[in-house]
Structure 1
Amino acid sequence: MADIEQAPQQTETAVEKERDGNEAFLVTFSPDDPENPQNWSKKTKWGVTAALTATGFNRIMLSTIMASAINTIAIDLNMTNLDRLFITNVWVLIWNLICGFANSKGLLLASRLLAGFGASAVYALGYGVLGDVWPPEQRGRSLGIYLLVPLLGAAFGPILGGLQAILAVASIPFVIETYAPLLLHRKAESLRKNTADPRYYAEIETREEGRSAAWKLQNSLSRPLRLLMFHPIVQIQAILGAINYGLLYFALSSFSSLFVSAYGEPVSISGFHYIALCLGEVAGAQICGPSMDYTYRKLTARAGGNSSPELRIPLMVPGAILTPIGLLLYGWAAQYNMFWLVVDLGAAVLSLGMQVFGTTLQAYVMDSYPEHVSSASAATQFLRSLTAFAFPLFAPRMYETLGYGWGNSMLAFLSIGIGLPSTGLLWRCGAKLRAKKQSSY
């Protein structure tokens, strides 16, 4: 009886030994394999990109979706002044629906908190999906669009709140699995079943063999933190991205009030100046996407066909230069009450530089961590969120003390003093830093 009970274990061990080092049974994608997400049709790839972009639009729109009704909500509630993308879509829609029927400020705040919990998924998963379906030499355009369109959600949120459900439903056909290791695992399972040969295996199975579900979950959830703590590439990207994002929110928090206090414009008119920031973002996306793909292909060809993430870096330099130029133009034009169009031009240059720098930096990290793009993105999102929260808190006090000229000059010095040296460091030492990184698995 004991021998019978041990037979399955012995058989499994024999199969495992036969698999070891036998690449004949390792399941991979062939160069033209239609199951490989990077070999999908352009229509499907752009459909997936559009679904991600629409989801990102919804997420950003959440932050301003209640703006047009905030006064009514405050009166009614006695408030003071003080896995899967589709599953998260449904989660967000449900909790936002509850917001609409909230009869207390506690329920409203709790509902918004839980809606935000679901909304965060796209920021962690979006870059990973784009990395799955677009090869490095075609990644620029999709990144530019993905990073641009959600930013428009902040402006359209108060107007198009009802559009959220329509976008979520329209995205359903393109919410499909893109993670290559999981697709290969499913392919290996299918081969084992159809051939009755248990020796077929995917690489992810050898790494996770014998691991419990709890270990897999713990390992996945802790990976962003481990990347942030031990991987220099992610640390540098997190710091640069956080500063870039913080400076943007710094400008956003003070831009409208500038035209009210210094130019005497009514609040209803001052908000239109945000169009300058939007135009800068649009121009940055349109310029950066095609330029990134073109530059990457040219530099790869010049290197004899040897591509590397560091080939993204040259395009970061214009962004690192344009950002402080925009800050200085915007700040000193405001300081001397120059014609409002000059201030708007400075703001547009600022947002253009940030868009170019941020998009290129994100592409660099995606290329550096192709298997764990989502975890790397989640690791950097933490610092970005902190600066987006903290920078606007001291913006009014800084401008009161230093004025717009010297205040923005200080920000410009901070931007160029960190941006350019870091870009040079990645160019010269990026390959060495990546070679020394600990396993991201």
Structure 2
Amino acid sequence: MTPPLGKEKDDSSIHSRSSFSSSSDDVDSTVNFTPQPFDQEISKHKSIPENPLAREKSNISINTANSDLRVSDSLATRLKHSLSRTSSAHPSIAAYNGEETIGASGEILEDYLEIDRQKTRQTIISVLSKRADQEVERFEQSELISSTSKSTNNKYSVNDLESGSQPDDDVDKKSNGIGKINNAENSENQQLPTAVDGSEFASLDPELVTWNTESDPEFPRNWDRRKKLATLAIVGLYTFSGQYAASGITLGMGFIDAEFGIKNSYFSSIIVSIFLLSQGVFAMITSPLSEIYGRRVVLTTSIFCLAVFNIGCAVTNDPYSLFVCRFFLGICASGPMAIGSSVISDIYDSNDRGKYIILFSSCVNMAPIMGGLSSGLIVEYINWRWIFWVLTIVDVVAVVIGLLFFPETYSPVLLNWKCKKLRKQTGNPNLKTIYHIADANETAMSKIIVNVKRPLMLLIHHPMIYGLGIFMAFLFGYFYLILISFPSAWRGHYGYSYQTTALMYLSVGAGYLVFNPIWVVVNDREYRQLTLANNGKAKPEFRIKSLYLCGIFCPIGLLIYGWCIQYRTFWLCPCIGVFLYTGFYTGMFSFLINYVVDMNPRYSASSNAALSLFRSIFGFVFPIFAPKMYNDIGYGWGNTIFFFTGVILGIPFPFYVYKYGEKLRIKANLKFDKKQAIRDAKLLEKAKKRMEKA
């Protein structure tokens, strides 16, 4: 019920709602953001004020490159004029004088408040829509510059391509404000052309729920160091649990073949490697799901289902059921594998996340080693079914820890939770986030389809993704080839027991433990030094300066391992080859993951999903054909073939990417950014029309 208008209220409890009388063509490119104090959050979002007529005229302005749009009238003034006009037409309504109580005007007042709210949100939608349109124009101009440069041999800088401006243009810097929104550090992974979750609009709409200040402790990147490290540790545990199952079955396959009567070696290899294929394919689905429902629910559900299918593997009585369970294990493991780096991007900015991604990658790469080591000891002393019971125990422990301590890290989901909480506390159902306002009734399925298509398009059309993806996929395939070949190499050639064969996986672990800290220091130091030398401007290419070392020493390690196994040299010699390969492989993995995250932060999850699909296909195929090849030509010549393939890819390609990759990356990014900007513009235009009809 609306209270009488004559009742006065303390000015401190009154919050103005601004309205705007301008067409969408006059709205701005950037909006001044005046953060609200944290302790005023509840009062900011209170229900409709009892006396909106007492609110002062708003001074909020929107700055645009073309014109300044200012609030012309407060709600009180417009309400006064409207009621005066209404009273002249309807004698039953007394003339409005600012002091009299208008008892019959409650519904009219409510209507005007709703009109004011709709106009404010139409303005926000118009701002976002214009930004998206200008993004499209900027990308089209950049493409024009690129084509003009080719036809006239004019040299344009990389910055010209990024900004869409020509070198000799005298352009007001303010006009580039929109174009920089999505490239700004504080706007990484934003679903809309806005700063941090629409924070710049907080002063325009008191019913807009966003972060209170730039240092809001609830914003994931502002969490304290201890909370961030705990989150990193748990997502690392989740990823470890998923990848632990990848190679845990390796040393148990001999017993499984004997018990189930599997005589086809190809089918036996497929049971092991089907995990990688399903993991790579479904990573493209789990990643967008985390952007709809949140990281926490997708990750925790994935690990819970992982435990369920590990139980299925433990109790199965036929090879086909084992194959199906392994397939679904890969699907469940795709969640942590695809989302892990996105969680790190949620809580760390580009200056800090490099070293933490390297630490995260150690969980990814150490898990298969621990799987091989533990499986050898288990089959030696218990039986192969206990491999999966141990995996189940690890999964259950991870789920319990995650349910107790793992927080949500995706800011749009956190804001949605905050909005629901404030609606309940204030009783104001009109509170919305920027994502609610801009929602164009896009369904979850349409979002999933778009996000599934994007990794495939990146894999096919982005030169940095398919180029670096091939390089990474080959080295990943070789790595899994080494892990899968251990049973036949150490038991078949050397005659070692399962326990001793399992201990050989320590050479892989030693490579990680020794080289991982080295890569953390090297990557961080090179990135900072190159950024400083480039006048403080960071580039993703600074992440891969030392990538060529991995292209040199990984093939050398593979060659040493193959020929030492071939001639049955002292066991330490092939272990040195494995140690060398593993150490530089982890460097390659860390460099490239960091690169694709920095390359285009908005599509980092899609880029990682594309790389995951690529390397999973190679990881699936290599263990199937390699055993027969080793039987036919031997480990030495087999790994010699892999050596030359690795050298051809690994030595020239990193140098080429470091020198010329920037232009290729930017041109490819412009095409994908343009497509996304067009899509954003269409969705926002649809939202704007919906708001106008409301």
TM over 0.5: yes
Alignment-derived partner of residue 220 in structure 2: 37
- One-letter amino acid of the structure 1 residue matched with residue 602 of structure 2: E
Where does 1:411-422 land on structure 2 (aligned, <5 Å)?
A: 411-422=642-653
Equivalent-residue separation in structure 2 for 1:405 and 1:397 (angstroms): 14
Equivalent-residue separation in structure 1 for 2:651 and 2:551 (angstroms): 6
Alignment-derived partner of residue 371 in structure 2: 154
Does residue 1:406 correspond to 2:637, yes or no? yes
Alignment-derived partner of residue 386 in structure 2: none
1:401 CA drift (Å): 4.7
Query: Structure 1 pair 278/329, CA: closer, same or farther in 2 (3 Å)?
Result: same
Please give the root-mean-square deviation of Cα atoms over the aligned residues, in Å: 3.5
Equivalent-residue separation in structure 2 for 1:99 and 1:392 (angstroms): 21
Contact 1:29 1:36 in 2 (8 A): no
Of 74, 77, 80 in structure 1, the residue corresponding to residue 262 of structure 2 is 80
Alignment-derived partner of residue 183 in structure 2: none
Of 473, 480, 484 in structure 2, the residue corresponding to residue 253 of structure 1 is 484
1:236 CA drift (Å): 2.1
- One-letter amino acid of the structure 1 residue matched with residue 562 of structure 2: G
Q: Which moved more, 1:241-250 or 1:57-66?
A: 57-66
Equivalent-residue separation in structure 1 for 2:497 and 2:116 (angstroms): 79
Alignment-derived partner of residue 126 in structure 1: 340
Alignment-derived partner of residue 127 in structure 2: 21
- One-letter amino acid of the structure 1 residue matched with residue 299 of structure 2: L
Query: Structure 1 pair 434/188, CA: closer, same or farther in 2 (3 Å)?
Result: farther
Contact 1:140 1:290 in 2 (8 A): no
Where does 1:39-118 land on structure 2 (aligned, <5 Å)?
A: 39-65=222-248, 78=260, 80-82=262-264, 83=290, 84-102=298-316, 105-118=319-332
Contact 1:296 1:312 in 2 (8 A): yes
Alignment-derived partner of residue 283 in structure 1: 514
User: SS where residue 660 of structure 2 aligns?
Assistant: helix
Q: Which protein is richer in helix relative to its size?
A: 1
- One-letter amino acid of the structure 1 residue matched with residue 223 of structure 2: W
Equivalent-residue separation in structure 1 for 2:262 and 2:522 (angstroms): 48
Where does 1:228-377 land on structure 2 (aligned, <5 Å)?
A: 228-377=459-608
TM-score scaled to structure 1, two decimals?
0.85
Equivalent-residue separation in structure 2 for 1:148 and 1:357 (angstroms): 12
Equivalent-residue separation in structure 2 for 1:237 and 1:206 (angstroms): 39
- One-letter amino acid of the structure 1 residue matched with residue 123 of structure 2: E
Query: Structure 1 pair 200/259, CA: closer, same or farther in 2 (3 Å)?
Result: closer
User: SS where residue 504 of structure 2 aligns?
Assistant: helix
Higher relative contact order (CA 8 A, sep 6+): 1
Equivalent-residue separation in structure 2 for 1:174 and 1:343 (angstroms): 42
- One-letter amino acid of the structure 2 residue matched with residue 86 of structure 1: T
Equivalent-residue separation in structure 2 for 1:339 and 1:417 (angstroms): 30
User: SS where residue 661 of structure 2 aligns?
Assistant: helix
Equivalent-residue separation in structure 2 for 1:298 and 1:175 (angstroms): 35
User: SS where residue 21 of structure 1 aligns?
Assistant: helix
Give the gaps of 5 or more residues in structure 2: 1-107, 129-197, 203-209, 265-289, 291-297, 379-389, 677-694
Q: Which moved more, 1:47-56 or 1:280-289?
A: 280-289
Equivalent-residue separation in structure 2 for 1:283 and 1:420 (angstroms): 23
1:373 CA drift (Å): 2.3
Contact 1:143 1:289 in 2 (8 A): no
Equivalent-residue separation in structure 1 for 2:642 and 2:258 (angstroms): 39
- One-letter amino acid of the structure 2 residue matched with residue 240 of structure 1: F
Query: Structure 1 pair 157/127, CA: closer, same or farther in 2 (3 Å)?
Result: farther
Contact 1:58 1:153 in 2 (8 A): no
1:379 CA drift (Å): 1.4
Query: Structure 1 pair 247/65, CA: closer, same or farther in 2 (3 Å)?
Result: closer
Contact 2:543 2:591 in 1 (8 A): yes
TM-score scaled to structure 2, two decimals?
0.56
Query: Structure 1 pair 434/12, CA: closer, same or farther in 2 (3 Å)?
Result: farther
1:276 CA drift (Å): 1.2
- One-letter amino acid of the structure 1 residue matched with residue 354 of structure 2: G
Contact 2:559 2:577 in 1 (8 A): yes
Contact 2:357 2:590 in 1 (8 A): yes
Query: Structure 1 pair 176/232, CA: closer, same or farther in 2 (3 Å)?
Result: farther
- One-letter amino acid of the structure 2 residue matched with residue 155 of structure 1: G
User: SS where residue 241 of structure 2 aligns?
Assistant: helix
Q: Deviation digits for residues 235-262 of structure 1, max 9, x if unmatched?
A: 2232122111111122223344234444
User: SS where residue 391 of structure 1 aligns?
Assistant: helix
1:314 CA drift (Å): 0.9
1:294 CA drift (Å): 2.4
Query: Structure 1 pair 157/333, CA: closer, same or farther in 2 (3 Å)?
Result: closer
